[in-house]
A = this chain, B = another copy of it.
Amino acid sequence: MFIEIQTNSSVPIYLQLAQQLIEGIARGELKPGDSLPSVRAFAADLGMNMHTVNKAYHYLEEKEFIQIVAKSGVIIQPNGIPKATAEEQQRLAEQIRPLVAEGLVLKLSEEEMVDMVRELVQHIKEGSS
């Protein structure tokens, strides 16, 4: 699992890390029950602050994508991650909404945006950037 951080991005480092772990799960590279490195080891590995890795883990725990077992380790949700609730879908839609609006202003057609999503799905599943 390669993690690549853009230090000069406006996206916080902890979020970039969390998002890349999410992609790892989406891709099936990280499976239910798999364990993740300890905060300390991961931080050392990635050359970032322990707090930052910790924050990424807690972000994923809040979404129930992982389980943090104190003094033991971190594992991908072992029971599998349940299908999005209507609420979660709604929340996702609200986050995508301003981007779709911007696309429309930039004169992208509905089909072009749909294609963009389809391509993203493929890229994520293949692990290509």
Contact = CB atoms under 8 A, between A and B. Distances in A.
Contact of A99 (B71, B95, B125): B95
A96 B81 contact: no
Nearest to A106: B84
A113 interface: yes
Interface string A97-129: 111111111111010111011111101110000
A1 interface: no
Contacts of A120: 93, 96-97, 100
Given A105-B22, A107-B83, A121 B92 contact: no
Interface residues of A, number: 50
Within the oligomer, what is the number of copies of this chain? Answer: 4
A107 B89 CA distance: 11
Interface of A: 7-8, 10, 12, 19, 22-23, 25-26, 63, 65, 67, 69-71, 81-84, 88-89, 92-93, 95-108, 110, 112-114, 116-121, 123-125
10 contacts: A19-B98, A23-B98, A25-B105, A83-B107, A89-B116, A96-B120, A99-B99, A100-B117, A104-B125, A110-B121
